[in-house]
Copies of this chain bind each other. A is one copy, B any other.
Amino acid sequence: MKRPDEIKRRYDDACGTAHALELLGERWTLLVLRELMLGPRRFSDLREDLPGISARVLTQRLAEMEAKGLVVRYRLPPPASVQVYDASDWGREAEPILQTMGRWAARSPGHDPSLPISAVSVLLSFRTMIDGERAGERDGVLRFVFGERVYTGTIAAGRFTVAAGADAAPDVTLAGAPEQLVGVAYGGAPLELLGVEGDAELARWFFSLFALPEKVTG
């Protein structure tokens, strides 16, 4: 007597938080959305950057998220012709949720920044954790290179934005693993850990804009 599509676990609760949990609260959902925040990815990209997710669960989550309007699925134009998943406009509006959670969790005594991390996570964390006051000191364009993937970050008028691709001409190009970027930005590791081309002084200043907040008194 099972009707897997009809019986869904709901919270019968008008509270907005409860409704958000119905849309985003299943295991992996928010992390899948995170990976799509900076542009389309393929199924296997997602598997790589979500360590531990099984193909079965990823398939399910993507289908549910598409049905809920959080995710869109389409095929890239030829010659690529591969299927990709992307966040919908509405899905992207959930970024403040990721940020608020990230900011809160950074103060947790149990937070371990030495675990593996994805490229998208690091770049989003920059958007979350940047010192907005000091970011206004100067402008600049930074290119982040993770193997084949390239993102462009822009600081202008005190705001940091980041997008996939190598659109703008960068002042400085930074290459390295996401974990190394974390080390330099939050862990006080030397800039030399990364491949740096261009305005190293800008890079140094950029990384000085980040610091993990103090932990709550455990």
Please list the residues of chain A having a beta carbon within 8 angstroms of any beta carbon in chain B. Answer: 9-25, 27, 30-31, 34, 50-52, 68-69, 89-90, 93-94, 96-118, 121, 124-125, 128, 179, 182, 216, 218
Q: Is the CB of A14 within 8 A of B97?
A: no
Partner of A182, one of B11, B14, B27: B14
Q: Is the CB of B23 within 8 A of A25?
A: no
Partner of A19, one of B11, B16, B110, B216: B110
Can you give 21 contacting A-B residue pairs, CB < 8 Å?
Answer: A13-B51, A14-B116, A14-B179, A15-B34, A16-B105, A19-B110, A19-B111, A20-B101, A20-B108, A21-B31, A23-B108, A24-B101, A25-B25, A69-B109, A69-B216, A69-B218, A89-B216, A90-B216, A93-B107, A96-B103, A97-B101
In the complex, which residue of chain B has the Cβ closest to the Cβ of A117?
Answer: B14
- 12 further contact pairs, Cβ within 8 A, besides A15-B121, A90-B107, A93-B216: A11-B51, A13-B50, A13-B51, A14-B179, A15-B34, A16-B111, A17-B31, A18-B31, A21-B30, A23-B110, A89-B216, A97-B100
Q: Is the CB of B23 within 8 A of A11?
A: no
Which residues of B are found within 8 Å of A128, using beta-carbon distances?
A: 16
Which residues of B are found within 8 Å of A90, using beta-carbon distances?
A: 107, 216
CA distance A23 to B97 in the complex (A): 15
Looking at the assembled complex, report how far the CB atom of A202 sits from the nearest CB atom of chain B, in whole angstroms.
25
Looking at the assembled complex, report how far the CB atom of A137 sits from the nearest CB atom of chain B, in whole angstroms.
25
Q: Is the CB of A13 within 8 A of B121?
A: yes
